[in-house]
Structure 1
Amino acid sequence: MTSRTSTESLVELAAEAYVYGYPVVFDVSMISAFMHQGFGSLPPTPFNRFGHSTKLATPDAHFVSVNNDTVYSIAQVDLSGGPVLLHVPDTAGAYYVLQFVDVWSNNFAYLGKRATGTGEGDWLIVPPGWAGTAPDKVRGVIAAPTAVISVVGRNACDGPEDMPRVHALQQGLTLTPLDTATHRTGLPAPDPDVPEELRFFEQLRVWMAAFPPAGPDQDHQEHFQPLGLLEEGLSPYVNPDPALVEALTEGLAAGKARVEAASNPPADGNRPPGAWEINPHLFDYNLDHFGVGTIDSPQWKIADRQASYLVRAATARTALWGNHGYEAVYAHTFTDSDGKQLNGSRSYTLRFEQPPPVESFWSVTMYDTPDYYLVANPAGRYSLGDRTPGLVHGEDGSLTVVIQREQPGDPAEAANWLPAPKGDFRPMIRLYTPGQAVLDGTYRLPPIVARG
């Protein structure tokens, strides 16, 4: 290998492979974690069953940028044995979304209030290349790009007192294989004898082969051949050439640096200090698979496929299993209106002169850095939004959120308090079914302002 290709070019190729392959490695790793450990209150759950959260997310859910507005119902669906029938209950007008994600982290279908309404129905999820006949009375067919997919369900929940309603909906959400064919019980396993420093590339090799991407991406994979990523059978990383090991480890570090830089880009000099990073097109890297509830339009696609790989990796790193902008928009900031890093040693305000323009609802959630996990606090409040009871508005209808570590002494400020950690933090605003002013950029979120 190294005789045909210089070490320098192998390092660059390995860095490209890391950026390209990070989403599938991270996604499949999260699928495995869900099936074996669960996420927070979501229990470990086997294939083709929904795992239901029994409460809104708390800091014990170690998942990047997990939301605290909706209650999760998540299923890892295996289609290796054929189609699976999904039953969806009637939510009686309440917001919900079922998001369908392939193992490359592409959102390829949606069911829910925005996409298909809130009525009851059955949907058939079919594997790649399926050419059968759907049963009578199904509302539609959802064609999966990969043989394993994630279905990420979110039911809006207005707090603990609303959980009985949500729990009843969860019980009505079911998956049933269409026939009795045997489905796999686990994910393809990387070779355990591969050394830890090469584990990423071994995972990528195995999972690329098990879950082929769309045709154009398969063509792109061909140029990773010098790295051994297309080798079948015995892993090339068990007893690799030392020069290859050196190139892969250097490339891994370089690829990680690129993803981290893309995940936290430097401030745009043309943007005012403290402006929120908001990009309705963060999930536009899906270029090939558009099913029920998606919008197949150039407006919602990244024009440059090569550029889409870095966007996809950075998005997986910071917001895995997030929605397209037309379903929900996410905005975050690391700095205040003076351009200084947000930190729990200071007190801040976030003043909304008017509510953000949304068709469903909005919230602001607190996360730590660098993990982007929810922040534990004595009040047990991890987010705040238009559904939070007891908020105190100004006479002009404005809302001032107080962000600080300690609970404010003033009762009105305490009602509007979003607890912060003692160190650096990154809040995120979510706008569910955002209005056009959000999507076209004419609406601007207010900056966070330091007090004192």
Structure 2
Amino acid sequence: MSDLETLAAEAYVYGFPMVFNLDEVGRFTRKGMGSLPASPFNRFSHATGLAGPKDTFVSVNNDTVYSIAQVDLSGGPLLLHVPDAAGRYYVLQFVDAWTNNFAYVGRRATGTAAGSYLLTGPGWSGEIPAGVTRITAPTAVATIVGRWACDGPGDLPAVRTLQQATTLEPLDPDTPPPAGLPPLHDRVDGAELLFFEKLRTWIRAFPPSAADRTYQERFAPLGLLDETTPYAAASAEMTRALTAGYREGRERVEYATTHSDSPEQNGWKLTYGAFDYNLDFFETGTLNTPRWVIADRDTARIVRAASARAGLWGNHAYEAAYAMTWNDSDGQPLDGTQSYTLTFTAPPPVDAFWSITMYDLPDYYLIANPIDRYSIGDRTPDLHHDPDGSLTLRLQPQRPTDPEVAANWLPTPPGRFRPILRMYQPRPAVFDGTYTLPPITRVARRKP
């Protein structure tokens, strides 16, 4: 690769999280997503049920009912009010434009009593109302990802009541309308050049931390720091370099999703550090300790890109720990042409709840199945436990004929798939090795 191509590949890895993220931010304000109707900036969109196949979002969870708000603080601060959840698990996760998780409100972080918070943009100075906790966003545009525990259809009315009592409003009633995402040049053609145009535009609108601002100066030869677009009339040499760099960078990100340095346990990638790349912004509910921060910034950047690709808007592990696998106990790719078992001799140690959720490849989406079951966990009714208390799940595309096996059936897509184990409010045993995740084992085919 030429020097320009190499630089463009580095820029892709660096900028992919923000571009991917803000594309989703724009989609949520214009079109919504499945169970979440479109909602303008600074207003919550509340889902009316658990996510399913129509919710085309990377690694969307099937455990909680979502309340999501895209916020724009360019016009001034917003007042956030949360109701008394009476002990119910919930979390409001605050994500900046670069996908940094910079604050949490909810049962683990702040308790479940009613509360009020002032969400302010970078550089704001003003008077904070009495009884209100300030949360400063690193970028003017950010996302609040709300998740409400729900114990089934009968619990939905109670969740709906809590959602409706979760509100955003301007601190100043005369706040001007939100500016939203800055427009792109309308004459940049092709996915590759358009990616770099988005990155150039959004870098200027939502600058990163000081350390990353120094780092991104290296991309000046690509035109990423130009005030006006160089991509509407890019030279043939620049177009070739950006196109090659885009493709190489994309391959690096895809590779990193399955070849991370995360420890492995019985075939599972323990991706507990997948969202530890925030090194600069720690507000309410975050833990700024060496255990939860990737010290090396180069490592943090590739981890950030892979995490956005495979699990955008995921939590830090101290809020919800994630483990995922692409392979069975023999190291073979998980495939819907096979049948598998997963046996928990003891349930994952959590203070909230746990689940296994099934996703297809390469999109990491939920896939429709005959029983509309996309996850199994400790809240799934009528599971069959063995006499010793263990729980054996069956993973395959077709319904098992044995009723006891069918009770524990998690349908898989017909092709390649990847499950995620989620542990909400995990206990220390999850991290210190005391608890071991069981392998996914292929069921031997019977001889005819």
Paired with 1:192 and 1:92, the residues of 2 have a C-alpha distance of 50
Query: Distance in 1 between the 2:75 and 2:166 partners?
Result: 21
Map of 2:107 onto structure 1: 113
Offset of 1:440 from its aligned partner?
Answer: 2.5
CA offsets per residue over residues 171-219 of structure 1, 9 Å max, x none? 0000000111213253111111011130000000000000011111111
* 1:391 is the counterpart of 2:386: no
Deviation at 1:411, TM superposition (A): 1.4
Q: 1:407 aligns with which of 395, 399, 411?
A: 399
Q: What per-residue deviation string (whole Å, max 9, x for no partner) do you get for residues 141-168 of structure 1?
A: 1000000110000000111111001000
Between the aligned partners of 2:182 and 2:434, the Cα distance in structure 1 is 47
**Cα offset, 1:392, TM superposition:** 1.0
Residue segments in structure 1 that go unaligned for 5+ positions in a row:
1-6
Asked whether the 8 Å contact 1:54–1:167 carries over to 2, the reply is yes
Question: Does residue 120 of structure 2 align to residue 126 of structure 1?
Answer: yes
Equivalent in the alignment of 1:169: 162
Aligned counterpart in structure 1 of residue 73 of structure 2, from 70, 76, 79: 79
Paired with 2:298 and 2:396, the residues of 1 have a C-alpha distance of: 41
**1:34-113 matched pairs, under 5 angstroms:** 34-113=28-107
Amino acid at match of 2:14: Y
Match status 1:207 vs 2:226: no
Aligned pairs for 1:287-366 (under 5 A) are: 287-366=279-358
Partner of 1:250: 244
- Whether 2:441 is the aligned partner of 1:446: answer no
| Residue segments in structure 2 that go unaligned for 5+ positions in a row | none
Contact preservation (8 Å) 2:81, 2:166: yes
Q: Does 2:137 match 1:144?
A: yes
SS in 1 for 2:117: strand
| Structure 1 residues 267 and 295, CA gap change in structure 2 (3 angstroms) | closer
Deviates more, 1:181-190 or 1:423-432: 181-190
> SS in structure 2 opposite 1:366?
strand
> Partner of 2:147: helix, strand, or coil?
strand
Q: Check the 8 A contact 2:74/2:179 in 1, yes or no.
A: no
Counterparts in 2 of 1:136 and 1:255: CA distance versus 1, 3 Å: same
DSSP-derived class of the 1:45 partner: coil
CA contact (8 A) 1:79 1:183 kept: no
Question: Aligned-pair distance for 1:443?
Answer: 2.0
**Equivalents in 1 of 2:77, 2:298: separation in Å?**
32
Farther off after superposition, 435-444 or 373-382: 435-444
For 1:315 and 1:267, how far apart are their aligned partners in 2? 13
Q: Percent identity?
A: 57
* Partner Cα distance (2:77, 2:405) in 1: 53
Q: Tell me the secondary structure at the aligned position of residue 367 of structure 1.
A: strand
SS of residue in 1 equivalent to 2:401: coil
TM-score between the two structures when normalised by the length of structure 2:
0.97
Q: CA deviation at 1:307?
A: 1.4
Partner of 2:2, secondary structure, is helix
Equivalence for 1:240: 234
Instruction: Give the residue type in structure 2 aligned to 1:73.
Output: S
Is 1:225 the counterpart of 2:217? The answer is no
TM-score with structure 1 length normalisation? 0.96
Local SS of the residue matching 2:442: strand
- State the 1:267 CA deviation: 9.9
Q: Structure 1 residue 271: deviation in Å?
A: 5.4
Return the offset for 1:442: 3.3
Contact 1:20 1:310 in 2 (8 A): yes
Q: Distance in 1 between matches of 2:433 and 2:219?
A: 39
1:80 touches 1:183 (CA, 8 Å); kept in 2?
no
Rounded Cα–Cα distance in structure 1 between residues aligned with 2:159 and 2:48: 9
The reply to whether residue 373 of structure 1 matches residue 365 of structure 2 is yes
User: Do 2:271 and 2:324's aligned partners in 1 also have CA atoms closer than 8 Å?
Assistant: no
Q: 1:166 to 1:271 in 2, by over 3 A?
A: closer
Does structure 1 conserve the Cα–Cα contact (< 8 Å) formed by 2:18 and 2:99? yes
Q: Give the Cα–Cα distance (whole angstroms) in 2 for the partners of residues 283 and 12 of structure 1.
A: 26
Aligned residues: 442
Residue 420 of structure 1: how far off its partner (Å): 0.9
Aligned to 1:85, the other structure's residue is in SS state strand
